[in-house]
């Protein structure tokens, strides 16, 4: 039986959604973030040394990293569903977006989360102006321009097809949903990004997405 080690408000929601799309039975083992640090509990390190979510176990296998988990689950249980046929242009786009999500667009979104927190973290009053200045500089000179660059790029790419890999919904859309949900929470999706907004509306309307939310519990991304 597949067990999804699921951290609240996290990337593992994608794995629950994928399994609901595939109709594959699984169990959810829930872990709660520390309310102060927002980190995963130490018990997750007993499953995988990094203690990050998602992690799945399937028999003797323990596998971490969202993209690897998605590849494994579609390959083993998908029967060809949610992955464009090998050798097609859609398959190349599928590969691209599958890697882009965690490799390219998540880093600036994570930096934004960290530097936003630096600005509001408790600290001695005389340090605050300096911390705010450093965080503000990092955000205005690097983080925010990069987030805008990625958002505009994804918006333009979704002008080519309804979904990221083509006109068929694929597991790459599941992988890409997290950065877009994180961007909506952390940076907001402005009216100049109607395709990204429409993508999230389509995603949220999928019955499997709804079922996964019911299994995973409240899903409110960190901001
Ligand atoms: N690139 C990894 C990132 C894993 C990751 O950072 N997960 C976050 C949840 S969204 C986590 O476990 N955070 C809690 C912590 O770092 O303690 C993946 O896609 O699986």
Q: What is the pLDDT of residues 36-55, one digit of tens each?
A: 999 999 999 999 999 999 99
The interaxial angle of helices 207-216 and 194-204, nearest 10 deg, is: 70
pLDDT at 122: 87
CA of 52 to the centre of ligand 1 (A): 4
pTM (2 decimals)?
A: 0.96
Is the minimum distance from the CB of 175 to ligand 1 under 6 angstroms? no
pLDDT at 186: 84
CA of 20 to the centre of ligand 1 (A): 21
CA of 64 to the centre of ligand 1 (A): 9
Q: What is the pLDDT of residues 62-77, one digit of tens each?
A: 999 999 999 999 999 9
pLDDT at 88: 98
Is the minimum distance from the CB of 119 to ligand 1 under 6 angstroms? no
pLDDT at 137: 95
- Among the atoms of ligand 1, which is closest to the Cα of residue 102? 1
What is the mean predicted confidence (pLDDT) over 187-214?
94
User: Is the pLDDT higher at 121 or at 102?
Assistant: 102
Alpha carbon distance 166, 190 (integer Å)? 24
pLDDT at 168: 98
Buried b (16+ CB within 10 A) or exposed e, 112-122: bbebbeeeeee
What is the mean predicted confidence (pLDDT) over 129-138?
92
Nearest-5° Cα angle at 96, 17 to 111: 75
User: Is the pLDDT higher at 221 or at 6?
Assistant: 6
Is 111:187 a contact under the CB 8 Å cutoff? no
Buried b (16+ CB within 10 A) or exposed e, 178-188: bbbbbbbbbbe
pLDDT at 223: 77
pLDDT at 148: 96
Exposed, middle or buried: residue 132 (CB in 10 Å: 0-12, 13-18, 19+)?
middle
Give every CB contact of residue 103 below 8 A, 6+ residues apart in sequence: none
pLDDT at 191: 87
CA of 219 to the centre of ligand 1 (A): 15
Give every CB contact of residue 222 below 8 A, 6+ residues apart in sequence: 9, 38, 113, 182, 185, 186
The interaxial angle of helices 171-186 and 12-22, nearest 10 deg, is: 140
Which residue puts its alpha carbon closest to atom 15 of ligand 1? 39
Q: What is the pLDDT of residues 144-169, one digit of tens each?
A: 999 999 999 999 999 999 999 999 99
Alpha carbon distance 147, 66 (integer Å)? 21
């Amino acid at each position: 039986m597949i067990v999804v080690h699921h951290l609240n408000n996290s990337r593992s929601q994608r794995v629950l959604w994928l399994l609901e799309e595939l109709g594959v039975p699984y169990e959810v083992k829930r872990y709660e973030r520390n309310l102060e640090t927002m980190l995963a509990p130490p018990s997750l390190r007993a499953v995988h040394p990094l203690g990050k979510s998602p992690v799945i176990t399937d028999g003797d296998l323990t596998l971490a990293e969202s993209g690897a988990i998605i590849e494994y689950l579609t390959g083993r249980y998908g029967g060809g569903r949610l992955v464009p046929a090998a050798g097609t242009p859609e398959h190349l786009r599928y590969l691209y977006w599958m890697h882009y999500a965690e490799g390219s667009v998540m880093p600036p979104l994570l930096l934004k989360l960290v530097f936003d927190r630096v600005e509001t973290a408790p600290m001695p009053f005389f340090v605050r102006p300096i911390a705010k200045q450093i965080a503000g500089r990092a955000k205005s000179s690097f983080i925010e321009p990069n987030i805008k660059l990625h958002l505009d790029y994804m918006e333009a790419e979704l002008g080519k097809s309804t979904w990221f890999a083509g006109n068929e919904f694929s597991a790459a859309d599941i992988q890409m949903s997290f950065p877009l949900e994180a961007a909506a929470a952390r940076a907001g999706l402005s009216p100049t990004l109607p395709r990204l907004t429409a993508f999230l509306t389509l995603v949220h309307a999928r019955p499997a997405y709804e079922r996964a939310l019911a299994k995973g519990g409240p899903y409110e991304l960190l901001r």
